[in-house]
Every structure is written in structure tokens, then in C-alpha cells.
């Protein structure tokens, strides 16, 4: 399971977001990291609400997709990814500090 920090934090992020095909490419770390977008999980439920709000907005606008709505969602997802990866770095930093 030894990977460098960048590989490991990226792997943990991808596992948490359900981005890996674990049936075809299993990784040991998947037994420790939960897919937070699995059915019934908090993130899956919240993403469903975002998706439904997006659909309602597009319907009101009379369009199939709206670039501004997509930009908002995409940028918020990018912010979440950035913060998640920084949180890993801070966790590593604080775990190394004397108690």
C-alpha cells in the first residue's frame, strides 16, 4: 500500500468520489476508503439535489443545458477537490506534530 503522498491522496480522492472501476482495476485501498457517492450516501443524495435543481432551472429557462449553471457546478466541484486534497496535506502535517 506504500505510495508517495501525491499518488495516495489522489487515489483516496478518486475512491471517495467513485471515479475508479474497481471491478476491472481493484486497489487494496478501496477496502478502507468509502465511495461517498454510492447509493444512499450523503454525497449521492446531495448531488441528486444539485442535479434536480439544475434540471428545474434549465426547464424554466427553456433550454436543455445552460453554460452558467454548468460553470457554477463545475467550479464548485473543483473547489471541493482542491479543499479535499489540501485537507489531506493538513492531516499529514498535523499528524506529524508533537502532541
Q: So what's the pLDDT on residue 52?
A: 98
DSSP string for 19-37: -S-TTTS--GGGGTS--TT
What pLDDT digit, counting tens, does each position of 17-52 carry?
999 999 999 999 999 999 999 999 999 999 999 999
Mean per-residue pLDDT over the chain, rounded:
95
Distance CA 52, CA 22 (A): 28
At residue 2 the predicted structure's pLDDT band, cuts being 50, 70 and 90, is low
- Contact call for residues 87 and 7 (beta carbons, < 8 A): no
At residue 3 the predicted structure's pLDDT band, cuts being 50, 70 and 90, is confident
Query: How is residue 26 written as a grid cell?
Result: 481493484
Helix orientation angle between 42-61 and 67-96, rounded to the nearest 10 degrees: 160
Amino acid at each position: 500500500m506504500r505510495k508517495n503522498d501525491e499518488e495516495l491522496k489522489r487515489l483516496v480522492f478518486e475512491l471517495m468520489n467513485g471515479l475508479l472501476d474497481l471491478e476491472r482495476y481493484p486497489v487494496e485501498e478501496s477496502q478502507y476508503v468509502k465511495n461517498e457517492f454510492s447509493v444512499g450516501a450523503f454525497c449521492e443524495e446531495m448531488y441528486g439535489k444539485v442535479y434536480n435543481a439544475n434540471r428545474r432551472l434549465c426547464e424554466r429557462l427553456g433550454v436543455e443545458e445552460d453554460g452558467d449553471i454548468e460553470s457554477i457546478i463545475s467550479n464548485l466541484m473543483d473547489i471541493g477537490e482542491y479543499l479535499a486534497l489540501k485537507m489531506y496535506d493538513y492531516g499529514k502535517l498535523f499528524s506529524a506534530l508533537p502532541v
